[in-house]
Amino acid sequence: MKNFIKNTTGYVALFALLFGFNACDQSEVTPEANLSAQNSEAAHQTNSMNLNKTYTVELMELNGSGVHGMAHIELMGNEIEVNLEAAGLTPEMEHMQHIHGFTENNKNAVCPPLSADTNGDGLISLAEGVPFYGPVLVALDPYPTADATGMVDFMDQYTIARAARSLQNNVIVLHGMYVDGVYDPTIPVACGQIKVVNQGN
């Protein structure tokens, strides 16, 4: 009988101890703690907004255009400065240029391969390229007009949305060339992956 009482007393003590630990754990999760965690997350996001990063882009021809060039991007919080030089463009014509990419699941945009020409006409159209490089995230306008030698030297600043801020997942696409004697301002003529030079401050 004494052993039964002793064992029962031991179980009660163990239960009380476990309950005490559980209550202690619950008491530690206070509204102040939750608020502190929220503030910490907000601070992290703010710090991310304050990061400066540098990127480069090597623009390679699409659709046999002969267009090539380089771009340099400085990210400063939610602002970017884009410097872009390209040659081989259609002289004295306006050329659209965009940052293309995807906003879901951190999917990487890529420059379209030859197999993107699904209708077999020998050219990759704007629509045929979208599955590879995604929709327009940032329009780099006002769009430049190539000089008499087919060159552009472009610089401008833009505010970008948070969804576009993982720039290394995106590409720059230049557009515009003659097709069958008619200037098509939408057709992709050059594309380049945006690559990180540094990881920020």
Domain ranges of the chain: 2-49, 52-196
Cα–Cα distance, 165 to 106 (Å, whole number)? 11
Q: Give the pLDDT score at 201.
A: 53
Tell me which CATH code domain 52-196 carries. Answer: 2.60.40.200
Q: Which of 66, 96, 80 is nearest to 173 (CA)?
A: 96
Q: Which residues in the chain belong to E strands, given as ranges?
A: 52-61, 68-76, 79-87, 97-100, 136-139, 152-159, 171-179, 182-196
Taking only the tens of pLDDT, the chain with its 201 residues reads: 444 334 444 433 433 333 343 333 333 444 444 444 444 444 434 444 557 899 999 999 999 999 999 999 999 999 999 999 999 999 999 999 999 999 887 789 999 999 999 999 999 999 999 999 999 999 999 999 999 999 999 999 999 988 788 899 999 999 999 999 999 999 999 999 999 997 655
Q: Give the pLDDT score at 164.
A: 81
Q: Give the pLDDT score at 35.
A: 41
Q: Give the pLDDT score at 117.
A: 97
Q: Give the pLDDT score at 200.
A: 57
Q: Give the pLDDT score at 28.
A: 42
Q: Give the pLDDT score at 2.
A: 41
Q: Give the pLDDT score at 147.
A: 98
Question: For residue 43, what is the enclosing H or E element?
Answer: helix 31-49
Q: Give the pLDDT score at 37.
A: 40
Q: Give the pLDDT score at 100.
A: 96
Pairing of strands 68-76, 79-87: antiparallel
